[in-house]
Structure 1
């Protein structure tokens, strides 16, 4: 733990560990806002102007100026340009939501002003707006993720809690760099040893009136010493409600922001609802979606999407099949038993990318320690069983396309965890088997987050996050990210 903390701090601090006294996100790149506004204005104004001109519609310049002002205005009113929002997401769902609002506003203007422009022409003019906005958001997010690895646009955090809890919090935050928080110090509650290696400037003792009075001065002193911009409190037995309330009073009076950790991991914000019966802060956690309208919509989109994909990709299927047949002896398709929802076995289809006796040779490779995955899956970067054509198919995930047949049959979904092998499931523990609570998918968080480059623990964590926090809009987001992951090819082998 101490080694991982120090390694992460060197990556996230380096020469940038200077005090920032003002905005939490004030050191984000200055071009995020101008780029977002310029893309939104020009991405609507220019296409509308050109389309109206070429179709002979009246008042093309005036209409273009109105739309170019409306789209950024809608985005601004919905806080898309706020400092704490820019660069934080890819903007896929936000852009689509804003675009629907824009269409509603334009429809009202059209009703108020009369039929100036034909509806089909107007729709064509603003069709590119959400796509260009998403592209700009994606560019900003990728730059921000890279910048945070060098400790730019981060919040310096002081953690308060009992040592065991503080160790967990520090380790969890240090284990990833795709967030805005970097721990600069810990104020443990009690005398137990801190294992995470974070600096300890002060400690909070047992609860008594004198210590409650001293808590604020000790925490504020540590916050000033470490230039902390946020105090992150993890309550425990020694940090009572009254003690925590008084500490929050003192920190707020000193203009120091405070956040409380409820102890939850990988719970989507949309599942959390705040309540305060009798003055007690309470978090209601909604159960994962397993039935209802969204589940029905997912099933419908799966079947229709698979049917459309099979028709559209039929020529590609023929080309791939011919390439496999001409370069390697054996069948074109490879069928393998996998486990689906609720541990139900099914026959999964793929284009064959390995030699015919690949399964028989797997045991020999495992016995020689060739497996490069640290968990239950077998993965090799240069697997000798993979054919030349198979490497190309795997590089661009073309070998997965026949699984559209499994989606049509209802055995798989377009988005979901990867379907495991029977021998893998046989070794699952009670946590890992929860991956099978939903239908497996052709793509999912695993595929868009690094695929085979991920450790087994990271793979399980991503799958559990999907299983517990699934929503139809989340599936749309994953499918939008899949194209970039396929083109990038990272972790595909």
Structure 2
């Protein structure tokens, strides 16, 4: 079928804006692949040197290759697994946990296959060798991917390393999608053109500052002409399934992706199941679950990790307690009633960071800020009740460390929505009450995404997103990001 060409009146500054968008990927993929190879080879060499001595150089069993051969084959298989697992997919890098999850999955699947092959061939590969290689390699792979992501974020913050997208849809829907993509430049998408239904907006006009480059039937030609990376369909009512299929055909062989947006928001991949029915892709969305095996695993992980952190940080806890007690009058620990899972009250612990009479002066602070009462996520930036030491503790979130004891008691989790006081919970609507379906956390998605600098609406949305889409892997990522947030101090006061 011959394609219709975009009208000449669509010529604008869009080609210059799109020029080079998406080219960043070649160099970035090469860099990450190179560091992947270094990590894999280094991990296997360390395992080889540490566990293989001069007297044992071959694998014991009926089939006994040398450990050097095993190391070479395993390195090649590991790198192939990362590639086959699409861990370098340009649509995943730079944002979200999917990239890390794929690296983790590709690694553990490989070593599971190695264990099966060793069993079938009756090869007794040293457990110490594998026990060093797998965790060391995985740790280095995830760390280098994280470091590359931080580098990529720096480039994207400066306006580079973006992928150009052409949005097609009704004007209002296109504007909404453009706005959402613009809120997160680190995701790496820049809308470089819009195609709308014929007669809705004339070519040469703009939708939310983005030029209209043609009609819906021009989308493929426009995307190719301005070298966009993808065409995104904004809204399912704007284009029929047959038109989507034809658009996909038009984009074949052009290296331009076709993306369909859904009206569902804050629904993570693990809850989504795609099943073709009579040629129609039917999407099922699982209901969120708050009990079961994975929550048992969360409890075990919380208690074990909290106990380990408490032991490791015990000198820090003692030192902070001494400093707080010596620099201001009042108890070292501050306790307050908070609302936990299913609306149950519990006593939350913190190092005292305010004057002992802080509660009686709350009205004074609210009046100074022109606030009649406490709202959700309320935290004044310049609270006169905070002590000098307390300001330092709050800046680095050190005042929260005693909540490790709340985790050990079972009142809280390491990761979850922040526990709030009864006055804040009383303001919850139906969405807000979703926060109470899980234990509150010492840290959470809100804390690593801006903390008190976020609007209440944004903070609430992040909490509900976490509650409904929780995974243990996401918890590990949030804990890792917490260290950066503490050192960065964004939104902490």
Task: Give the alignment's TM-score, normalised by structure 1.
Answer: 0.82
In structure 2, the residue matched to 1:329 is: 329
Alpha carbons of structure 1 residues 35 and 241: separation in structure 2 relative to 1, 3 Å: closer
CA deviation digits over 1:321-370, x for unaligned, max 9? 22211111001111112222233332211111111122233332222228
Report the CA distance between 1:126 and its aligned residue.
4.8
Equivalent position of 1:58 in the other structure: 57
Residue number in structure 1 paired with 2:208: 196
Structure 1 position 121, deviation (Å): 5.3
Q: Quick check: 2:445–2:463 contact (8 Å CA) kept in 1? A: yes
Query: What residue number does 1:158 align with?
Result: 166
Deviation at 1:416, TM superposition (A): 0.4
Counterpart pick for 2:86 among 79, 102, 112:
79
Residue 481 of structure 1 deviates from its aligned partner by 2.8
Distance in 1, Cα, partners of 2:124 & 2:463: 50
Equivalent position of 1:270 in the other structure:
270
- Bigger CA drift: 348-357 or 395-404? 395-404
CA apart distance, 1:426: 2.4
Q: Distance in 1 between matches of 2:14 and 2:452?
A: 30
Is 1:316 equivalent to 2:328 in the alignment? no
- Post-superposition offset of 1:417: 0.7
Task: Report the counterpart of residue 234 of structure 2 in structure 1.
Answer: 234
Whether the 8 Å CA contact 2:435–2:467 is kept in 1: the answer is yes
- Taking the TM superposition and a 5 Å limit, the aligned residue runs for 1:75-154 are 75-82=82-89, 84=91, 92-104=100-112, 107=115, 112=121, 114-115=123-124, 117=126, 119-120=127-128, 122-124=130-132, 126-154=134-162
> In structure 1, how many angstroms separate the alpha carbons of the residues matched to 2:92 and 2:377?
37
Alignment correspondent of 1:206: none
Which 5+ residue runs of structure 2 have no aligned equivalent? Answer: 1-12, 59-66
**Equivalent residue number for residue 210 of structure 1:** none
Conserved? CA contact 2:94–2:188, under 8 Å = no
Q: What number of residue pairs does the alignment pair up?
A: 465
2:178 is equivalent to residue 170 of structure 1: yes
Q: Is the 8 A contact 2:17 2:192 kept in 1?
A: no
Is the alpha carbon distance of 1:140 and 1:200 closer, same or farther for their aligned partners in structure 2, counting shifts above 3 Å? Answer: same
Q: CA deviation at 1:107?
A: 4.2
Residues 406-462 of structure 1 deviation map (CA, whole Å, 9 limit, x = unaligned)? 223332211101112222222333333332232211111112222223232321221
Matched, 1:260 2:251: no
After superposition, what is the alpha-carbon deviation per residue over 1:262-293, rounded to whole angstroms, capped at 9, x for unaligned?
21212112211122323333211111122221
Note closer, same or farther for the CA distance 1:224–1:396 as it changes in structure 2 (3 Å cut): same
1:476 aligns with 2:488: no
How far does residue 113 in structure 1 lie from its aligned partner after superposition?
7.4
Using the alignment, how far apart are the partners of 2:458 and 2:301 within structure 1?
28
Residue 349 of structure 1 is matched in structure 2 by 349
Residues 1:164 and 1:334: Cα distance change in structure 2 (over 3 Å):
same
Q: Cα offset for 1:294?
A: 0.8
After superposing the two structures, state which structure 1 stretch, 165-174 or 91-100, moved more. 91-100
Match of 1:430 in 2: 430
Unaligned runs of 5+ in 1: 1-12, 204-214
- Residue aligning to 2:191: 183
The two structures have a TM-score, normalised by structure 2, of 0.82
Give the secondary-structure state (helix, strand or coil) at the position aligned to 1:202: strand
Q: Tell me: CA distance 1:114–1:268, structure 2 relative to 1, closer, same or farther (3 Å).
A: closer
- Secondary structure, in 3 states, of the residue corresponding to 1:384? coil
Report the RMSD for the aligned CA atoms in angstroms. Answer: 3.5
Task: Check the 8 A contact 1:406/1:412 in 2, yes or no.
Answer: yes
- Which residue does 2:62 correspond to in 1? none
Is contact 1:89–1:141 with CA below 8 Å preserved after alignment? no
Q: Is the Cα–Cα contact under 8 Å of residues 417 and 443 in structure 2 kept in the other structure?
A: yes
Tell me by how many angstroms 1:176 deviates.
1.0
Please tell me whether the aligned partners of residues 21 and 162 of structure 2 are also in contact (alpha carbons under 8 angstroms): no
The match for 1:209 is none
Q: State the secondary structure of the residue aligned to 1:349.
A: strand
Report if aligned partners of 1:233, 1:259 keep a CA contact under 8 Å in 2. Answer: yes
